């Protein structure tokens, strides 16, 4: 499973970087800048081929990035009068070259979403099993078995779309509007959801938990599919294919009921009645193990549930003809781009917890999960990460494309006179420090999440 996540991560990164750098390459070719090398990865060159234009195409040993090397008049390979040198081209040419990388990330997102919608992707419908007391959802008197159809007058047939459409309403005085369909009565009803005092700054709850929605999930029988090594379950002698019948003499009929009982124990020893695959009943004692997740503690036994197939009545299949997929992918790319900028603003102002930042470990883990589920899910993940890469590269930080645009703007304001190389170098060092700090912080979040430090 770990190896699969690494492979999925490398495929994701390889596609993202290659597409990004190919944008720079094509723009440089269009502008007439000489491209000396196109590299996927850093470090020692493993594979190399030089084309008829003199550009060396390489695959390098460290697959954590890539670059396009252009002829520069401040290097030994170029001269001040060389028309192919990057610095000798107009500022607007260099702006186009710089912007082409992030633009290709957005293009990749558009293409990935188009393919995802054309192939089709099934997601659970936004069906509310019940609401949590003392939450905005409970205050809105949302009834059990209500399915969300629209959020703020936008179609929201799945929980994925509900979250996307609800997030911008956090902290606003204007209530979010929901159109609901009650599956029990068949009636449609509109409700207002007051989120003006809701905040995710503490990081202890997801949006769904904070709002108070408990999504419907099919009942999963309390049958053990797998017992993790060195877990309370393995110590207690639990094995796969056994069914947990009772906890402290209280009947258990679903995996959710089991999870709630275990969490309610707060780590106290539990008495369980278990039925083996042969129908033999046995009693065991087990002590759940605490695990820290962000700002809350959960209690685990170290067992995994069986997988069940969702009934089609509770799934929404997003599969469309090509022309409609093109329109939807453009809309989804724009929607997620705006949402990403909104989230950056919320992080800066402290309205969104820093634990929302994920590093390479988290990305690798999620890439593996999506790839195992299916191609359509992996394409959706790839599109989302590609948007994030495009946005991050446009941040005004030296070492990134956004920082290079700032340098070009300064050069324009100075009448075509660029900043001194010494000043550019100092700013690049500052940018490298900021990027490294962000990476360390993101990896720390991953480690805390994975190992509960």
| pLDDT tens digits along 342-395 | 777 777 776 666 555 555 555 555 555 555 678 888 888 888 888 888 888 898
Q: Per residue, what are the HEC states of 238-254?
A: CCCCCEEEEECCEECCC
Q: What is the pLDDT of residue 75?
A: 47
Whole-prediction pTM value? 0.80
Q: What is the pLDDT of residue 14?
A: 83
Where do the H-state alpha helices sit in 32-158?
91-119, 136-139
Per-residue pLDDT of 284-322, as tens digits, reads 999 999 887 655 678 889 998 887 788 888 889 889 999
DSSP, collapsed to helix, strand or coil, labels residue 272 as strand
Among 21, 36, 318, 365, the one annotated catalytic: 21
Average pLDDT of the residues of the chain: 83
Strands (E), 248-350: 250-251, 270-275, 281-286, 289-293, 296-300, 303-305, 315-318
- Indicate if 21 belongs to the active site: yes
Encoded tokens for 423: 């000043």
Per-residue pLDDT of 123-170, as tens digits, reads 889 999 889 899 899 999 998 889 999 999 998 888 888 888 888 888
Domains annotated on the chain, with CATH: 93-118+319-393 (no CATH), 121-218+310-318 (2.30.42.10), 224-305 (2.30.42.10), 395-433 (no CATH)
Per-residue pLDDT of 247-270, as tens digits, reads 999 999 999 899 889 988 988 999
Encoded tokens for 266: 């707060």
Statement: residue 88 has pLDDT above 60: yes
Q: What is the pLDDT of residue 363?
A: 54
Give the integer Cα–Cα distance in Å for 173 and 197.
9
Statement: residue 90 has pLDDT above 80: yes
| Average pLDDT of the segment spanning 212-241 | 89
Per-residue pLDDT of 159-208, as tens digits, reads 888 888 888 888 788 888 999 999 989 999 999 988 888 776 666 567 78
């Amino acid at each position: 499973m770990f190896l699969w996540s690494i492979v999925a991560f490398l495929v994701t990164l390889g596609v993202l970087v290659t597409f990004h750098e190919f944008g720079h390459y094509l723009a440089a070719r269009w502008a007439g800048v000489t491209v000396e090398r196109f590299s996927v990865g850093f470090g020692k060159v493993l594979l190399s081929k030089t084309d008829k234009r003199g550009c060396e195409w390489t695959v390098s040993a460290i697959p954590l990035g890539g670059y396009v090397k252009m002829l520069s008049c401040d290097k030994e390979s170029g001269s001040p009068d060389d028309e192919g040198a990057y610095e000798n081209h107009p500022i607007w040419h260099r702006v186009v070259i710089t912007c082409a990388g992030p633009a290709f990330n957005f293009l990749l997102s558009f293409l990935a979403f188009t393919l995802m919608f054309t192939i089709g992707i099934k997601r659970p419908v936004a069906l509310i099993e019940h609401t949590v007391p003392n939450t905005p959802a409970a205050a809105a008197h949302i009834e059990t078995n209500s399915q969300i159809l629209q959020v703020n007058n936008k179609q929201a047939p799945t929980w994925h779309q509900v979250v996307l459409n609800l997030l911008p309403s956090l902290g606003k005085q204007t209530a979010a509007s929901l159109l609901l369909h009650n599956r029990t009565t068949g009636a449609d009803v509109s409700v207002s959801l007051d989120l003006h005092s809701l905040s995710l700054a503490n990081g202890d709850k997801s949006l769904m938990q904070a709002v108070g929605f408990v999504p419907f999930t099919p009942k999963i029988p309390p049958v053990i599919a797998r017992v993790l090594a060195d877990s309370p379950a393995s110590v207690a002698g639990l094995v796969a294919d056994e069914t947990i019948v009772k906890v402290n003499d209280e009947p258990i009929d679903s995996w959710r009921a089991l999870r709630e009982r275990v969490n309610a124990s707060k780590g106290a020893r539990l008495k369980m009645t278990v039925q083996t695959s042969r129908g033999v009943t046995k009693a065991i004692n087990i002590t759940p193990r605490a695990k820290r997740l962000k700002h809350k503690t959960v209690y685990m036994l170290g067992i995994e549930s069986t997988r069940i197939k969702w009934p089609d009545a509770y799934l929404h299949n997003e599969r469309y003809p090509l022309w409609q997929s093109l329109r939807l992918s453009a809309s989804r790319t724009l929607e997620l781009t705006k949402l990403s900028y909104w989230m950056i603003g919320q992080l800066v102002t402290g309205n969104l917890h820093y634990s929302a930042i994920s590093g390479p470990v988290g990305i690798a883990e999620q890439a593996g999960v999506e790839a195992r589920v299916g191609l359509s899910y992996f394409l959706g993940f790839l599109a989302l990460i590609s948007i994030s890469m495009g946005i991050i590269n446009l941040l005004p930080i030296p070492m990134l494309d956004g920082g290079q645009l700032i340098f070009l703007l300064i050069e324009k304001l100075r009448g075509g006179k660029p900043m001194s190389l010494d000043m550019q170098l100092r700013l690049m060092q500052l940018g490298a420090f900021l990027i490294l700090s962000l990476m360390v912080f993101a990896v720390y979040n991953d480690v805390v999440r994975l190992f509960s430090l």
